Chains A and B, each alone.
Chain A
Amino acid sequence: MALRISLKPALPLIPLLPGLSLLGVLGVLLRDGHGGGISVLQQFAAGAVQPSIDPIVLGSLLKGLQITLVIAVMSWGISSVLGVGLGLLSSSTFWEIQAGVRWPAVILRRWLAPLRAVHELIWGLLLLQVFGLNGWVAICAIAIPFTVLMARVIADQVDCHVSPAIPVLKGAGATPWAVMLTGLVPPLAEPISDHIGHRLDCAVRSALILGVFGLGGLGTDLSLSLRSLQFQELWSGLWMLAIAMVVLDRLLRTLRSWSRMLILPVAMASPWVALGWGTQLDLQLAWPVAEWSMVVGNLIDGSQGFNAALEISWPGVIRATVWITLIAGCVATGLPPLLLLVWPSQASLHLQGVVWGALRLIPAPLTALLLLMLAKPSLSLAGLALGLHHGGVMGRVLIDDIRSTGLGSAQTMKACGAPNRVSWLYGPLADVSRAYLTYATYRLDVILRDTAIIGMVGGAGLGWQLMEALSSFHWWLVLWIVLISAVLTLLGESLGERLQGSWNSRAMAL
Chain B
Amino acid sequence: MTALLELHQACLGQRLQPITLTLRADQRVVLLGASGAGKTTLLKLCNGALSPDAGSVHWCGRPHQQLSRRQRRQIGTLWQDLRLVEELSVIQNINSGALGRHGLLWAIRNLLGPLDPNTCLELMHQVKLEADLLEQPVRELSGGQRQRVALGRLLHQRPELVLADEPLSALDPSLAEDVLNTLLLLPGCLISLHRPDLIHRFDRVLGLRGGALVIDAAPNTIHRDQLEWLYASA
Which residue numbers of A lie inside 8 Å of B, CB to CB? Answer: 1, 3, 5-13, 409, 411-419, 421-422, 425-427, 430-431, 433-434, 506-507
Other A-B pairs, 11, CB within 8 Å; known A7-B112, A412-B77, A417-B100? A9-B113, A12-B85, A409-B85, A415-B49, A416-B157, A417-B74, A417-B157, A422-B99, A422-B104, A425-B104, A426-B88
Report the minimal beta-carbon distance from A13 to chain B, rounded to whole angstroms: 4
Say yes or no: A426-B131 contact (C-beta < 8 A), given A6-B113, A417-B73, A433-B87: no
B72-96 vs A, Cβ < 8 Å mask (1 yes, 0 no): 1111110100010111110010001
Q: How far is the CA of A144 from the CA of B92 in the complex (A)?
A: 45
Size of the chain B interface, CB-CB below 8 angstroms: 40
Residues of A close to B86: CB separation below 8 A: 430-431
Residues of B close to A434: CB separation below 8 A: 87
CB within 8 A of A507: which of B69, B72, B89, B103?
Answer: B89
Q: Which of B61-75 contact A (CB under 8 A)?
A: 69-70, 72-75
User: Is B219 an interface position by the 8 A CB rule?
Assistant: no
Are A418 and B99 interface neighbours, CB within 8 A? yes
Say yes or no: A419-B103 contact (C-beta < 8 A), given A3-B117, A413-B96, A430-B85: yes
Are A414 and B72 interface neighbours, CB within 8 A? yes
Q: How far is the CA of A419 from the CA of B114 in the complex (A)?
A: 21
Are A9 and B70 interface neighbours, CB within 8 A? no
Residues of B close to A414: CB separation below 8 A: 72
Say yes or no: A417-B89 contact (C-beta < 8 A), given A8-B112, A412-B79: no
Residues of B close to A417: CB separation below 8 A: 69-70, 72-74, 99-101, 157
Which residue numbers of B lie inside 8 Å of A, CB to CB? Answer: 47-49, 69-70, 72-77, 79, 83, 85-89, 92, 96-97, 99-101, 103-104, 107-108, 111-114, 117, 121, 131, 134-135, 137, 157, 159
Q: How far is the CA of A427 from the CA of B73 in the complex (A)?
A: 16
Say yes or no: A507-B137 contact (C-beta < 8 A), given A411-B49, A415-B48: yes
Residues of A close to B76: CB separation below 8 A: 416
Are B83 and A412 interface neighbours, CB within 8 A? yes
Are B100 and A426 interface neighbours, CB within 8 A? no
Q: How far is the CA of A422 from the CA of B111 in the complex (A)?
A: 11
Q: How far is the CA of A105 from the CA of B193 in the complex (A)?
A: 52
Report the minimal beta-carbon distance from B22 to chain A, rounded to whole angstroms: 21
Residues of A close to B75: CB separation below 8 A: 415-416
Are A430 and B88 interface neighbours, CB within 8 A? yes
Are A422 and B70 interface neighbours, CB within 8 A? no
Chosen A-B contacts, 14 in total, with CB atoms closer than 8 Å, are A7-B112, A10-B88, A12-B85, A12-B111, A13-B108, A412-B83, A416-B100, A417-B70, A417-B100, A418-B96, A418-B100, A418-B107, A426-B85, A426-B107
Residues of B close to A6: CB separation below 8 A: 113
Report the minimal beta-carbon distance from B200 to chain A, rounded to whole angstroms: 30
